[in-house]
Structure 1
Amino acid sequence: MEADGAGEALKVIMEFFTLHDHRGLHPPMASSLICVLTVTTPGIDTPPPSVTDGERGGLLAAVSLVPDPRNPRGVRYPLAALLAVAVCAVLAGATSFTAIADWLYDLDKPDQQRLGFDRGVPAGTTVWRLLTRLDDVLVSRVLAGWLRARTPSLAVPRPCRYRTVIAVDGKTLRGARLADGRQVPLLSALDTSTGIVLAQVTVDTKSNEIPSFTPLLDAVENLLGGLAGVLFVADALHTQTGHAEQITRRGAHLLLQAKGNQPTLHAQLKAVPWAQIPVGDRTRDRGHGRKETRTVKAVTLHTPGGIAFPHARQAVRITRTRTVEGKTSRETAYLVTSLPAADAQPADLQKWARSEWLIENQIHHVRDVTFREDLHQARTGTGPAVMATLRNTAIGWHRINGETNIARANRRADRRSNDLITAVTSNYPNTQ
C-alpha cells in the first residue's frame, strides 16, 4: 500500500511540476522571424497559461505533495509545515537538524503559524526523525520544481541560440556515515543557467557514480518533461559509451572529456592533425596574479561515431596556458561532442566546457564552506541526502534572487525571517 501511495503521489508531483520547456529544441533558421519560448506549469486543477501567473508557487503548496511516511493516527505537526520550515531555516543559514529546530523555536508565534504550526512547535527530535525518513529523490524533485516555478528567467522568452546546459558531478559527504560506517556519495545535475540543482541521487557505496547516471538522467527528464536539445557536460569518469547512448536516445547532447579511462578514444583524439586545424576561438584572462590563455580547435568527424565513441560529431582540443609569478604551465584537454558544427561553434564549446566546473564552484564548494557540510555528521536514514538537498535549494533560491555571496544572503534572510517567510509562501515568481 505504501508503495502504491508513493507512486500515486509521484504521478501528481510530475503533473504539477513538469515544465514543457522547449528551450532545448534546435533554434529556428536564421531567416525565421519567430523565436518563441513557451514555458507552462500545468496545475492540478486548471493549468495556468504560463509560469508568470505563478499559481501554486508557494512553498507550502509545493511540499504538501511529498508523501508523509508517518501513520496518520496521532500526527500532530503537518509534514508540509516541517519541510517548509526546514527549507526556510537552511535559507537562513541553518547547518544541521538541530539548527533547523532552533530557528523554528526562535520565530515569533505569528510567523510559526504562517508556516503551519498552529498547535505549538515540535521538539528537535521530531524534526530530525521525520526528515531522515523522507524519500530524498522525491524531495529533491519537488524542491527543484518549486525553484523553477519561481525563477524569473524561465518566465520570459529566451534568445534563439539559447541552449540548456546541465553539469553533472559527484560529491562525497565526508562527515556523514551509513550504518556500516561508509561515507555518503551523491551525484547531482545542475542547470548552469539558473544555478538550480535539478536532481540528486545517492550513489551505491559498493560501486561508483557510473551506474547512478541513468537514475539521475531519469530524474532530470521527469522534471523537465523531456531532454530534447539539452547538453550534458561532465568529467571524464562519465565519458562512457552507455552514457552516450542514454543521452542521445532521449534527444539530448553531450560534451565529454577523454582521459585515461578511455585510452583508445584519447589516443585517437590526440592523433588528429591539430597543427593543420585553425584556432577557432581564443580568450585571455588576467587576475589574481595570473595570466591565462585558452585556445579552442574543433574539427567535424565525417562519420558520426567514427572514432571510438558513439554519436561523436566533433573532436575538440582546448589548450590552456597559464603564467603565475613568471612560471608558465600548459594543459591540453581533448573532448567529443554530439553537436554538429552548425550548432556548436568553438566559442560555444569553450563556454560549455568551462561550465562543467560550475557545479563544483557554485554548489559543492558553497555547501562545504558556507554550510559546513563535511562537518555535519548525519548518520540516519536519508538524512544526509535530504540535508544536501536543502542546501542545494537554499543556494538555488539565493541565486535566482541575484545573490552571488551565499553566506551574506543567508545572514540577511536570518535577520529578516518575516520577509523570508512572506517570500517563500508567495504564489508568484521571484523578482530580481
Structure 2
Amino acid sequence: MPDQELGFIRYFAALPDPRVNRTKKHALSDILGVTLCAVICGADSFEEIERFGEAREPWLKQYFALRNGIPSHDTFNRVLAALDRKVFAACFGHWMADLNTATGLKAIAIDGKACRAAPGDTFSGCLHLVSAWATENGLILGQEAVPDNGHEITTIPVLLKALDLTGAVVTIDAAGCQKAIVEQIREQGGDYVVTVKGNQQTLHRAVAAAFEKSGETEWAGCDMRASVEDGHGRHEERYVTVIKSPEGLPAGWTDVGAVVAVGRERAANGKNASTCHFYLTSLRGTAEELGGYVRGHWGVENGLHWCLDIAFREDENRTRDTNAGANLGVVRRVAASLLKQDAKRGSIKAKRLNAAWDQDYLKQILQGFRDN
C-alpha cells in the first residue's frame, strides 16, 4: 500500500470504471494518476506515459498501489478510450473549481480548439475541443468534445450546462452569439459578453447603427477609455466605447445591458493595421471593466491554446480514438492549469522539465501549490 496520498485522487471516486473485472489488472486511480504525472512531466503520447512510469516507478509507489507494476501504453490507451468523457471532464472540473479562488465576478472564457492531427468527423474535420477557461486564475473548468457531424454552436450549451455560472461573466466569440446561449447563461445565474459579427447580420447592423448614431451626437452618454502600449517593436492604441441600454436592437436577446465597441490601431514591423469589433453584454459596466473582460477572452489564445500547441504539441497528437483523444485533451489542459499556478519558473516547457527532474516540485504541482 502507498504510504502517502495525493488529494486529487478523491475527485475520481465517483468515476465509473468501464472495464470488466477480469481486465482490472491495474487500479483505475493508478492509471489516471500516472497519466497526469507523466503529462505534467513532458509525456505527450501513451508510449511516453508508459516510459515515464517505468522510470519513476519507485517514486510513484509512494502514492499509488501499482500492484502489477506500470500499465502498458496499450492499457493507458484502452482505458482512456473507454472512460465516459463527460464524467471524466467533470471530475477534473470539480478539482479545478476548488482550486479557483477568485472572488466576486469571475470571468470564464468559452472557446474551441481544433486538434489538427487527430481525425474527427466534425465541422473542422478533426477532433475539436471546446473549453471553459477561468481567465483570472488560468484554470480549466470544463471541456466538451464536438461530436461527430457536430459544431461548436451545439456543443457550447452542453458545456455551459455542466458549469456553475452563478456570479460568473461568460465571454464567448461569435460562434456563441446565439439567442438561446445568452438566455441559458442568464438562466444559470451568469452574465455574458459575446462577440457580434456577420453570423448575426441583423444584430450586427443594429449595433453598428447604435454607434454611428452616438458618433453623430459626439458620443453623448457613452463611456469611453483609451490605452496605449509599446513594446517589442510594436505600438498599439486601444479604444473602448460603451453604450448602456442601447436602443434599436432586434428582439429576443435576453437582458441586454450594453453594447461595446473595441477599436485597435496597431503598428508593427513598418505595417499599420486598424480593426473594430462589437460586443453584446448583459452587464452595465464601465469601458474599463468591459474592456478588461474582452481582453481577458483574447488571453485564452495565449494562456491556453498557444501553450497546448507549443508546450504540449497538441496539434501533432494523432490519437485516433475520439474518446481517448478527448480524455487526453482534458489531462493536458489540467496539466497546463496546474503548471500555471507557479508564477516563478518561466515557461511551461521549463516547468515540465523541472517537474520531471525534481520530484518535490512535481508534488507541489499536483497539490496546486497548497495543502490538500
Q: TM-score, normalised by structure 2?
A: 0.89
Residue of structure 2 aligned with 1:408, choices 344, 347, 350: 350
Q: Structure 1 pair 126/418, CA: closer, same or farther in 2 (3 Å)?
A: farther
Equivalent residues in 2 for 1:32-431, closer than 5 Å: 58-150=7-99, 153=101, 158=103, 162-178=104-120, 182-221=125-164, 227-272=165-210, 273-275=213-215, 276-277=218-219, 280-301=224-245, 309-340=253-284, 344-402=285-343, 405-417=347-359, 419-421=361-363, 424=366, 430=370
Partners of 1:133 and 1:400 in 2: CA distance: 30
Unaligned 5+ segments in structure 2 are none
* Closer/same/farther in 2, CA of residues 337 and 150 from structure 1, 3 Å limit: closer
Shift in alpha-carbon separation, 1:304–1:115, aligned structure 2, 3 A: farther
Describe the SS at the equivalent of 1:383: helix
2:342 and 2:369 in contact (8 A); partners too:
no
TM-superposed deviation, 1:309: 3.2
Code of the residue aligned with 1:233 in structure 2: it is T
Structure 1 residues 380 and 179: alpha-carbon distance in aligned structure 2, compared to 1, 3 A threshold? farther
CA RMSD of aligned residues (A): 2.5
- 1:222-278 Cα distance to aligned partner (Å, 9 max, x none): xxxxx2221111111211111111111222111112111111111111112232215
The offset of 1:307, in angstroms, is 5.9
1:114 to 1:291, Cα distance in 2 relative to 1, 3 A: same
Whole-Å Cα distance in 1 between the matches of residues 361 and 265 of structure 2?
47
Cα separation, 2, equivalents of 1:423 and 1:338: 37
Shift of 1:287: 1.1
- Cα deviation for residue 115 of structure 1 reads 2.2
One-letter amino acid of the counterpart of residue 217, structure 1: L
What residue ranges of structure 1 are gaps of 5+ in the alignment?
1-55, 222-226
* Aligned AA (1:143): F
Aligned partner letter, 2:203? L
Secondary structure of the residue that 1:323 maps to in structure 2?
A: strand
Alignment check: 8 A CA contact 1:203 1:212 kept: yes
Aligned equivalents of 2:150 and 2:24: distance in 1?
38
Per-residue Cα deviation, 1:14-68 (whole angstroms, up to 9, x for no partner): xxxxxxxxxxxxxxxxxxxxxxxxxxxxxxxxxxxxxxxxxx9712222333211
Q: How many angstroms does 1:402 deviate by?
A: 2.5
SS at match of 1:291: strand
Secondary structure of the 1:280 match is: strand
Equivalent residue letter for 1:206:
N
Distance 2:365 2:196 in 1: 44
Q: State whether residues 168 and 233 of structure 1, in contact with CA within 8 Å, keep that contact through their aligned partners in structure 2.
A: yes
Write the letter of the residue equivalent to 1:201.
E
Q: Is the alpha carbon distance of 1:314 and 1:179 closer, same or farther for their aligned partners in structure 2, counting shifts above 3 Å?
A: closer
Measure the CA separation in 1 of the matches of 2:177 and 2:140. 21
Determine if contact 1:301/1:314 at 8 Å carries over to the other structure. Answer: yes
Q: 1:304 to 1:143 in 2, by over 3 A?
A: farther
Distance in 2 separating the partners of 1:197 and 1:304: 37
Provide the C-alpha distance between the structure 2 equivalents of 1:147 and 1:216, rounded to a whole number of angstroms: 15
- Deviation (angstroms), 1:337: 0.7
Please tell me whether the aligned partners of residues 282 and 293 of structure 1 are also in contact (alpha carbons under 8 angstroms). yes
Q: Distance in 1 between matches of 2:280 and 2:363?
A: 46
Deviations 1:193-249 (A, max 9, x none): 11111111111231311011111001113xxxxx22211111112111111111112
Letter of the 2:311 counterpart: T
1:200 to 1:74, Cα distance in 2 relative to 1, 3 A: closer
* Distance in structure 2 (CA, Å) of the matches to 1:193 and 1:69: 35
Q: 1:249 to 1:150 in 2, by over 3 A?
A: closer
The structure-2 alpha-carbon separation of the partners of 1:331 and 1:150, relative to structure 1 and needing over 3 Å to count, comes to: closer
Cα distance in 1 for partners of 2:306, 2:129 equals: 14
1:403-432 CA distance string (max 9 Å, x none): 5511111000011135424763x6x8627x
Pick closer, same or farther for the CA change 1:182–1:377 going to 2, 3 Å.
same
Q: Normalising to structure 1: TM-score of the pair? A: 0.77
Contact 2:354 2:361 in 1 (8 A): no
Distance (Å, rounded) in 2 between the aligned partners of 1:360 and 1:210 = 19
| Distance (Å, rounded) in 2 between the aligned partners of 1:423 and 1:241 | 40
Deviation, 1:326, is: 4.4
Structure with the larger RCO, 1 or 2 (CA within 8 Å, 6+ apart):
1
SS in 2 for 1:173: strand
Does structure 2 retain, via aligned residues, the 8 Å contact 1:268–1:307? no
Contact 2:206 2:249 in 1 (8 A): no
Q: CA deviation at 1:381?
A: 4.7
